[in-house]
Copies of this chain bind each other. A is one copy, B any other.
Amino acid sequence: MLKPEILDPQGQAVQRALPRLGFEGIADVRQGKRFELEVEGEVDQAALDRIHKMAETFLANTVIEDFTVKVEA
């Protein structure tokens, strides 16, 4: 997701459109990318470290984006 201090024009465009579509009560909207990776073999610490490195160097632009790595069975 874009870092909080980075302007998010896409999120703002969505937020401005919501009331016109009848959806009230949303104070802020942020839009970002989501990757689902299917890992071969066990997701042990080594695999997690590798995925974290992958996200940091390739999947995210860490100059403007924050990322989190979550394991889902």
Q: A interface vs B, CB < 8 Å? A: 1, 11, 14, 17-18, 21, 23, 25-41, 47, 50, 53-54, 57-59
Q: How many of these chains are in the complex? A: 2
* B25 touching A58, Cβ below 8 Å: no
* B37 touching A34, Cβ below 8 Å: no
Sorted from nearest, which 6 A-B pairs have the closest CB atoms?
A: A28-B38, A34-B34, A30-B36, A27-B38, A25-B40, A23-B54
Q: How far is the CA of A58 from the CA of B25 in the complex (A)?
A: 15
Q: How far is the CA of A33 from the CA of B25 in the complex (A)?
A: 22
Partner of A27 from the list B34, B39, B50 (CB cut-off 8 Å) is B39
* B36 touching A32, Cβ below 8 Å: yes
